Every structure is written in C-alpha cells, then in structure tokens.
Chain A
C-alpha cells in the first residue's frame, strides 16, 4: 500500500462516521446523496429491465405469446417511462455527478446541500406517483405521450404525467446546484481551463436541464389539464392542434437525449484518460463541443417530425442542424481515440465499457446521420430502425458509461475492489448481448416493422427471436454484475486510495472520502490527468 493512504485508514469515512438510518435520511452530504440516488436509479433500471424482458418474450412469436395487446401496450409504455425518466435522465448526473463533482472541484460540499437532499425526495415522490399510476391502471401511450391519443386514452395517464412533472423539478434543482457549485466552489489553483471534462459535461447538461425542463413541465401540465378539465389545446375535436404537442414535446425531449448522453461522454473522457495514462487529446475541443451539442441540440427537434405534415422547408432546416450535432459528436469520438495514441493502456473493465461505448456511439451516431437524411427517414420513421438507433446511441452510451462509472468509481465510493475477472466476463456478456439485441432491429426496421407492434408479419420472426436471445444475454450480464458488486461490498478486497493510478482530481481525496472530503484544502497545481510525471497524486 502506498504511504500516502496509510494515514487515512483509521480515520472515519463518509460511510461509517455516522450510521443511523436517520443520519442517512437527513444527510446533507453530497456523497451520501449520490449513493441514495445510485440505489434509486438502480432500482429503476431493474424495473425497466424486467419490463423490457417481458416485451422481448412477447415478441418471440408473431402473434400473442404471453400477454394480450392491452397489457403489451402498457408494458412498453412503462418500460419507456421508467427507463427514460427514472433511469437515464437522472442516472449519471444525480448519482455520480453528486458524488464526484465536488470532489473534482476540491469542494467540501455542493452549493446548496439542503436543496440537494430535497432533490432526492422530490425524485422519490415523482417516481412513487409514477409507479402508483402504473399499478393503478398503467398508461398505454408510449413514453412520448402523443396527443390526442394521450388525452383520450382511458388509462391512468394523469398520475404518470404528474409523476414525470415532479421528477422534472428534481432535475432542475440538481442542475442549478451543479452550475452554482462549479462557479463558486472551485479549490485554489483550479481555473476554468483546468476543470475536469466530466465537470464540463455535467455543467453543460445542467444548462440544458434548467432551460428545457420547464418546457416539458408546461406541456405535461397542458396534457393533464386537457384530460382533467377538457381544455382544448391538443385535441382537434375541441379546437386544438395535435401537432403542437409534438413540437413542444420534442423541444424538450430532443435536448433531453443530450441530457442523457453528455454526462455519459464526460464519464468516458475521465475513464479513457485514467486507463490510457494520457492527458486528454483536445481539451478545448471536447469542452467546446459539449456546448456546441447543448446549443444546436435545441434546434433540431423537428427531425422527429419529417412525416407529420410539417413544411418541406422546415424539414430541410432541421435536417441540416441535425448534421451539425452529429459533427460535434464525431469530434468527441476522434478525441477519445486520439487520447489513446501514445498512452500506456491497461485494458481494465471500465476501459472495456469505454470500447463498447465508442463502438455503439459510432454506429448509433452514423445511423443518426442516416435518419437525418430526410428522404431515408420517411421509410424509417417510427419503425424498429429508429428503435435500434436510439437504443444504440442513447441506451448504449448511457448504459456503457454508467457501468464504466460504476466500476471506475466503485472503489472510491465504497473502498472495495470488485473481482476483476467476473467483471470482465460480465462486461463482455453485456456488450455482446447488446449488439445481438439491437442489430437485428435495424434490419427489422428496414423490412418495415413499425415500432410499438404487438404482432408482426411472420417473415419477421427469426430476427425477433435473435433480438430476444440477445436481451436474455444482457439480463444475464446484469445479474452477474449485481451479484459480484453486492458480494464485494462485504467480501471484496479493500481498495488503496487510488487503485487505478489515476491523476483525476477526485482521487486527491481518500477512498472512501472522509465526511468532509478532504482533511486540508487541496491545491490542484497541475492540469487534470497530467501523466507526464509518474507519481500518484498526494491525498489531501
């Protein structure tokens, strides 16, 4: 064990300095809040995963398999709602952002610790209301809630809308907190050009969250009002405009995909540097492209509506702007690969997930370029091609980055090492399973299988069976991860302060960090991920 960590062993850490239930529930410690979020989003992931398996099993045969059409329609809605709003949007910012962002800035806390605690409870309340809606009768609108179907559906759409609405506040609060923290609580020596890129990513995400989430809140309330009070905003039979909803919805939800993906990109940047032992290639380009995506992302929502009857000219503009988003993503991909150039690469589990991420993002991004090509999208819109596209890019990247982060920061969070070998097997299973699940869906889309189909023409069966097989592999991989991570909490080897030899600023604290993060105020004298020197960082 290296000498700098020896001193920290006896000291209390944030996990054991107080252990009562009350001390957890009322904590204002960003690390504990991060852990609470981690538990909650993992639960959401599990729930969404169970729904996903049900869907895939149903699609094993062209006709009915294990459930009726009404149940199927509810299950895909619940799958989408849970995964998008309860897992992917909060996962990385709320769990890992909360945990490591202050550490990376050398801060003791986030700017507003009480609000931070509130955001956990707001999230939990929103999630509970959503779950209540699911149990009560379950919406059957899809996670996109398109009107006028959602305003006329007899199912419990309203509680789910309000649940998502409430979760939105949690997102906004977390975003505000991160923005303020980044501005005001940086340790001495950290000027803007030294801020870790994960922080830049979270910062850019927070800006989108604060700007866009109110639009979603508004549109959800309008739908709820239309359902409850019969206000005619979207329903044409009451004088409303059904396409208006789509504009408002996608004005939020298109940037929302970047709310999910940008933090993932931040994680990847950290992990690539740590395991390649290299400074990041093109720091400025990566930071700038984060804001490029955040900005242009607001002006490409219309690419979801090429066949909705919007003007041909409008479609053209939205198409071109989508290409600009693609180029910002391409910049990042080039930079990650270039970072590996001249490095000292150690293919550990987190880096394996990074490779999975790069593969899925490149593939998914390229299919994004293909669907932004207006004439092709006419055939693909609302088919399984789109399902495959957004699973590759959105789920693939969020999931890969989430798992990379989970493994990379696990020793930081809990002071334990996980069994490397098992983790390696699980990672391979997951990446392979993911590809087997979604690759056939591109082909199904080409054949013309529309999304949200409970039944399909029989010639499409074998691709569906393949996809279900992949999904089973995925589920198996997750089970494995669950088992060895829980095992490691108790029986895992104790971790040194910096098991990966990373130069990231968060490793300047002990692992797990003490209740106030640092024993003395840290000074960040060199750039983040500077590997030109060989000694590991000093632990403050």
Chain B
C-alpha cells in the first residue's frame, strides 16, 4: 500500500526515519481531500442537471438554512482539519527535536556550494558522509544569503541563515546516495547548488573517518572517480546527465587538527582570549569553561541558555544579551569572523567542560551530547 501510494504521488524513496510517517499522513490527507473535492464537485454537477432551467420566467423558492446544518457543515470539516494538524504537528515536533545522542556536522552554505565540517576534523564540499542508523544533527549557517538545505529522500529541509545557526536532524535508514538541493532562491546558480549525502554503514563510516584524521593537509575525496576540478560543486551544469548514481564529490580538505583545535587557534588569533579565560577564572568577560549550555543571568533580568544560537549572537551582537555583572565592552565581530570560524569557535567552547581541563589537543575532541548531560 505504502509503495503504491508513494509511486502514484511521485514521492522519492523513503530513506530516513521520518519519511514513512510523513508520507502516511500525506496519503491520508491527499486522498481525503481529493475525495471531498470530488464529492463537492459531484454534488454541484448533480444540481446542474437536476435543476437546469426550464423556462425563461421560472421563479424559484427561497431556501434557508437551519442551525443544525450549519453547525454540521462547519464543525465536521473543522474537526477533521484540526485532527490532521495535530497528527502532523506531533511529527513536526519530532523532526524539530534532535535526539541527544546525535552526531553533529556543521554545514556552511555559500553561493553556490555546500560545505560540511565534522567536529573530528575533516571537511568536504558537496559530499556529506554519514553513518546509517545514527541520528545526525546539522548545524547550518550561510556565508552570504539565505539558502535552504533540502534532502527530498529524507523529507528534511531547513533554511541556512547568514549570521545565525539553525539546526535540523535526520537518521538515514539505508546506505546509498541521496540528492541535496538548495530550496531557497539564492541567485544565479540557485538551481545548480546541489550536493549529496552518502550514507555508509557504520563500519565504512568509521573506516573513512579514520582515514581522514591524521591525514595530510589536503586529501582527495575518497569517492572513486571524483572529478578533478578545484572549483565548487557544479553538478547541474550537466543537468541533463545528472543521476544520483554518478559521483560528483569534490575536494576534501582536512585542515590540521580537529575543529575544536582550529577554534582554539581562532580564539587566540582574534583576541578572544584576552578577555575570556578557558579554565574557569573570571576575567574581563565570562569564562568559557563550562559555558556551553550554561544558564546565564542577563543584565536587566531574565536568563538565557548558552546554546549555538546564543553563542553566535554574542559574537555578532555582544550588547544584545549582556551577561549580568560584566561591562558592555566586547566589540562586535560582525563581518570579522567567517562562518567556518564561528563554527570552530563554538565547537571549541563546547569542548571546554567536563573533568579534563587540559584535554584539548591531546585526546582529540571531547564530544558532548547536546542536552548537556
């Protein structure tokens, strides 16, 4: 049944945990809707024949409603609509709430390419490798205009905004290659802004990750037959030949060290560490030690949880949510930090917690679950 409806409605394969549930609701709503539309139209057609005009001077009688019919005709569709809504909203909340055990990947969109950065170090353009059967949380941002990360096979979409982080997540159910497209109009090559998700079995993924880490500064993407071009991914230039099977991955560069290590370097270079400490001592600014997911009290009342969005905002508009007890002296880093640098900083801040105060750089990244447990 599922397969039948999926094909009739031209839906792509169902490769994530959401896809099936979303599709089931889709079938119910569309078939009910079409049935109702046909019914209404059928009744209209019936009246058309039954009550056709017989003479030019024909008079008609007045017809008026009784309250009963009105309530019935308004109430029943409304309750159906609301029922659909609540089922859908239930799924939506699920889709909007990444599970704590999810692995993270930073996604930076840019006219007209997608760049993926893993906390473990490697980053790539145009190819997102993920393990099957493990939730993956994407932290998205953009370097220029709004883009939208869209994987039809996963029924997942999320806008990538400049100057802010948004998130989405998915769990792939079977290995394969899935098309990623940009769904928010972003200029000249909007329709060429494609990438792919390569879902690997957990073992293959682990092997790939191992191969990438500790590697040289720039590594050719492991995709067999990946094109040799240096420029960003432009698969759709050959739109006519595009197929999900043909690999179109691009350069994979592993900069030295993990993302957190890069974040540490950025923090030093940009002068963050002149005011913020990383070991718990308070200085001119709040310490970064244990900052991630901490509840901060704000000047002027209220609190805020220091999540990715707040950390980004604090870099861009430090005065907006001023932490209690600190002078408003931090300059804005708007325009001074690249999206990738922000990602690195956030990753660095996230590692600054737990028991090991000196763990960074020796034992690799300390992965922290997102709910802060």
Contact = CB atoms under 8 A, between A and B. Distances in A.
Interface of A: 61-63, 69-70, 73, 140-142, 146, 148-149, 152-153, 236-239, 242-243, 276-279, 281-282, 285, 306-309, 312, 315-316, 319-320, 323-324, 326-327, 330-331, 333-334, 337-338, 340-347, 355, 358-359, 362-363, 366-367, 369-370, 372-376, 378-379, 381-383, 443-444, 446-448, 450-458, 463, 501, 530-535
A362 B190 CA distance: 33
A70 B89 CA distance: 39
Interface stretch (B71-79, B117-125, B126-134, B358-366): B71-79
Contacts of A69: 188-189, 191
A222 B318 CA distance: 24
B61 A381 contact: no
A463 B182 CA distance: 21
A206 B1 CA distance: 49
B275 interface: no
Contact of B65 (A281, A379, A535): A281
Given A362-B37, A457-B242, A450 B47 contact: no
Interface string B31-69: 001101100110110011001111011111111110000
B202 interface: no
B99 to A, nearest CB: 15
A395 to B, nearest CB: 18
B266 interface: no
Interface stretch (B22-30, B208-216, B285-293, B346-354): B22-30
A337 B156 contact: no
A333 B181 CA distance: 38
Interface string B184-202: 1111111110000000000
Contacts of A141: 185
B17 interface: no
A374 B97 CA distance: 14
A312 to B, nearest CB: 5
Given A309-B166, A333-B40, A532-B60, A446 B70 contact: no
Given A242-B163, A243-B161, A312-B92, A458 B242 contact: yes
Interface in B151-177: 152-153, 155-159, 161-164, 166
A140 B334 contact: no
Interface of B: 9-12, 18, 21-22, 25-26, 29-30, 33-34, 36-37, 40-41, 43-44, 47-48, 51-54, 56-65, 70, 73-74, 77-78, 81-82, 84-85, 87-93, 95-97, 144-146, 148, 150, 152-153, 155-159, 161-164, 166, 179, 181-192, 236, 238-243, 316-317, 332, 334-335
Contact of B26 (A236, A370, A383): A370
Contacts of B51: 276, 340-345
In order of increasing CB-CB distance, the 7 nearest A-B pairs are A236-B163, A448-B152, A366-B33, A373-B88, A375-B91, A374-B92, A309-B166
Given A370-B26, A453-B190, A327 B59 contact: no
A49 B263 CA distance: 53
Contact of A236 (B11, B87, B242, B334): B334
A452 B22 contact: no
Contact of B240 (A61, A70, A363): A61
Nearest to B32: A366
A70 B57 CA distance: 60
24 contacts: A69-B189, A73-B188, A146-B146, A146-B184, A149-B186, A236-B163, A239-B317, A243-B161, A327-B81, A340-B44, A340-B48, A342-B60, A358-B41, A358-B44, A370-B30, A376-B29, A378-B157, A379-B155, A382-B150, A446-B9, A446-B11, A457-B179, A532-B59, A534-B57
Contacts of A282: 65, 70
A382 B163 contact: no
Nearest to B11: A446
A431 B316 CA distance: 53
A376 B161 CA distance: 22
A242 B166 CA distance: 13
Contact of A337 (B44, B146, B153): B44
A330 B52 contact: no
A376 B61 contact: no
A90 to B, nearest CB: 26
B77 A327 contact: yes
A307 B159 contact: yes
Contact of B60 (A243, A277, A309, A334): A277
Contact of A148 (B54, B144, B158, B334): B144
A372 B85 contact: yes
Contacts of B163: 236-237, 242
Contacts of A369: 29, 33, 81, 84
A307 B33 contact: no
Contacts of B179: 448, 457
B74 A448 contact: no
Contacts of A152: 144-145
A63 B9 CA distance: 24
A361 B159 CA distance: 30
Given A341-B51, A373-B84, A239 B44 contact: no
Contact of B63 (A281, A326, A366, A501): A281
B78 A346 contact: no
A483 B138 CA distance: 57
Given A309-B159, A344-B51, A358-B44, A458 B74 contact: no
A104 B152 CA distance: 51
Interface centre among B54, B62, B90 (most CB of A within 10 A): B62
Nearest to B152: A448
Contact of A378 (B70, B92, B146): B92
B50 to A, nearest CB: 9
A375 B96 CA distance: 9
B166 A370 contact: no
A153 B314 CA distance: 28
Nearest to A70: B188
A146 B155 contact: no
A228 to B, nearest CB: 19
A450 B184 CA distance: 8
A455 B192 contact: yes
B60 A343 contact: yes
A49 to B, nearest CB: 22
B81 A452 contact: no
B53 A366 contact: no
A355 B291 CA distance: 63
A373 B25 contact: yes
B182 to A, nearest CB: 7
Contacts of A278: 60, 63
Contacts of A319: 85, 88-89
B239 A331 contact: no
A326 B29 CA distance: 14
Given A277-B58, A326-B81, A358-B44, 14 more contacts: A146-B184, A239-B317, A242-B162, A309-B164, A319-B85, A346-B53, A355-B44, A358-B41, A375-B22, A376-B29, A379-B156, A446-B10, A452-B190, A453-B191
B164 A236 contact: yes
A378 B95 contact: yes
A531 to B, nearest CB: 5
Contacts of B159: 307-309
B58 A382 contact: no
A153 B187 contact: yes
A149 B191 contact: no
B157 A381 contact: yes
B78 to A, nearest CB: 5
A341 B95 contact: no
A370 B65 contact: no
B44 A315 contact: no
Contact of B58 (A236, A344, A454): A344
A118 B3 CA distance: 60
Interface centre among A331, A358, A372, A373 (most CB of B within 10 A): A373
A457 B248 CA distance: 14
